[in-house]
């Protein structure tokens, strides 16, 4: 077999070599490479449709990512092509990202988490992880997910209009362009204007869930603030909007080492099942946790948590790197965006062990964020 895999996907050569010859590609994809391939392993940057697959018909396509709005399922069914993705593989990663942003903004504005109200739109694996952590940290959490409520009568989904009076609103919905659960421009100008003055909108789902034009207008009016990890028309993002947001990143919220490996492993196992073969290669065990220590300085809880979080992932640095787009010529912006996505290789909070000498509020909060916590004898 001939296998073509995105070079960003972990362990592709090691895993798929049992099937045949593995070639790696980088974006933008040279369509000539897709000739006569049997397996295509790719991320969500490319649309899986007749345009991409004109030159070939692979037996199987794997996407070790969560969203599927880039996939033409009708076409895949028509051509008899197998497909797999990895829902939930990056739930901890996105949770870490959202909480990093909330902590940074809370410290900037000198606010306490227990005094803040969070709205979560889309309460699947990612939204649930965010909601649980925020609640454990003392935030009041309001949930909205009508599709989940229809499937689970025990789940209480508030009407979206009841989430308009929050301090932070975070979005974790799929991109549905049509239908009863349409999310394309779910937050258009009308809905954005319903949000309370000063609300921070976080979008780490899909860019077109929010009208970027309307959002820019509301930020310029001084009504809203925004954190954007996803943008309309990626990778050709609106640099004028980038100038306006509180935090801007290059679609990296789910791009941790652990999330990539989980996604790659899930798709590899699905490929083996599709081809009815036994995998001959096992993904490596998770490495031992990295130890870190609190500073010991007397600070507010939010400041202490932010300091620990930034030892793992400095969201401010990620923001600064994306803002370099503003100073680049248009011809170089796409490459810069892709480089930032590719080079984001930070670890999840759960890969770090925080050591304390005594139990207390900070230790409890670290556990809520997903850190491993260990109590040791005072070294003094």
| Angle between helical axes of 301-312 and 91-108 (0-180°, round to 10) | 130
- Per the omega criterion (within 30 degrees of 0), is the bond before 235 cis? yes
What are 40's strand-pairing partners?
4, 61
The reply to whether 234 belongs to the active site is yes
In 7-91 the beta strands, taken as DSSP E runs, fall at 21-25, 39-41, 60-63, 82-85
Closest CA to 341 of 364, 359, 318: 318
Cα distances from 253 to residues 26, 206, 359, in angstroms, run 21, 11, 31
Given the residues 70, 85, 172, 206, the one annotated as active site = 206
CA dihedral over 116, 117, 119, 124, signed as positive or negative: positive
With b for 16 or more beta-carbon neighbours within 10 A and e for fewer, the 218-245 pattern comes to bbeeeebbbbbbbbbebbebbbebbebb
Q: Single out the catalytic residue among 234, 265, 302, 348.
A: 234
Written as six digits, the tokens of 358 are 């005594």
**Is residue 259 a contact partner of residue 118, using CB atoms and an 8 Å limit?**
no
**Please, are residues 97 and 170 in contact by the beta-carbon 8 Å criterion?**
no
By DSSP bridging, strand 247-248 and strand 225-228 are parallel
Q: Kindly name the residue from 95, 172, 251, 346 that is annotated as catalytic.
A: 251
Give Cα separations from 332 to 274, 326, 344, 375 (angstroms): 40, 11, 19, 49
Cβ proximity of 264 and 354 under 8 Å: no
In the residue annotation, 251 being an active-site residue is answered as yes
| Catalytic annotation, residues | 206, 234, 251
């Amino acid at each position: 077999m001939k296998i073509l895999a995105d070079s960003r996907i972990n362990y592709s050569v090691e895993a798929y070599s049992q099937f045949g010859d593995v070639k790696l590609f980088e974006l933008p994809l040279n369509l000539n490479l897709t000739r006569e391939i049997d397996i295509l392993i790719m991320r969500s940057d490319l649309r899986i449709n007749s345009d991409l697959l004109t030159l070939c018909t692979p037996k199987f396509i794997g996407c070790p990512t969560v969203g599927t709005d880039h996939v033409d399922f009708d076409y895949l069914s028509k051509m008899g092509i197998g497909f797999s993705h990895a829902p939930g593989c990056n739930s901890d990663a996105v949770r870490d990202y959202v909480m990093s942003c909330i902590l940074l903004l809370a410290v900037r504005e000198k606010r306490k988490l227990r005094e803040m109200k969070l709205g979560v739109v889309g309460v699947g694996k990612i939204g649930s992880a965010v909601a649980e952590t925020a609640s454990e940290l003392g935030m009041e959490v309001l949930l909205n997910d009508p599709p989940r409520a229809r499937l689970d009568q025990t789940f209480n989904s508030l009407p979206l209009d009841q989430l308009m009076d929050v301090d932070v609103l975070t979005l974790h919905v799929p991109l549905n362009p049509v239908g009863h659960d349409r999310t394309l421009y779910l937050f258009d100008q009308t809905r954005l204007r319903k949000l309370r003055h000063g609300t921070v909108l976080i979008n780490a789902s899909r860019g077109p869930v929010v009208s970027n034009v309307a959002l820019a207008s509301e930020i310029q009016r001084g009504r809203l603030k925004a954190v954007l990890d996803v943008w309309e028309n990626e990778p050709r993002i609106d640099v004028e909007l980038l100038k306006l947001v509180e935090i801007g990143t290059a679609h990296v919220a789910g791009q941790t080492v652990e999330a990539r490996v989980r996604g790659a492993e899930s798709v590899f196992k699905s490929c083996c099942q599709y081809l009815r073969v036994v995998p001959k290669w096992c993904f490596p065990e998770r490495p031992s946790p990295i130890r870190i220590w609190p500073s010991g300085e007397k600070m507010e809880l939010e400041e202490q948590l932010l300091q620990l979080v930034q030892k793992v992932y400095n969201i401010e640095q990620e923001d600064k790197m994306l803002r370099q787009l503003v100073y680049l010529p248009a011809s170089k912006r796409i490459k810069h965006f892709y480089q930032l996505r590719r080079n984001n290789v930070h670890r999840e909070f759960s890969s770090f062990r925080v050591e304390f000498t005594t139990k207390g509020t900070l230790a409890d909060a670290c556990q809520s964020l997903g850190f491993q916590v260990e109590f040791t004898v005072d070294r003094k």
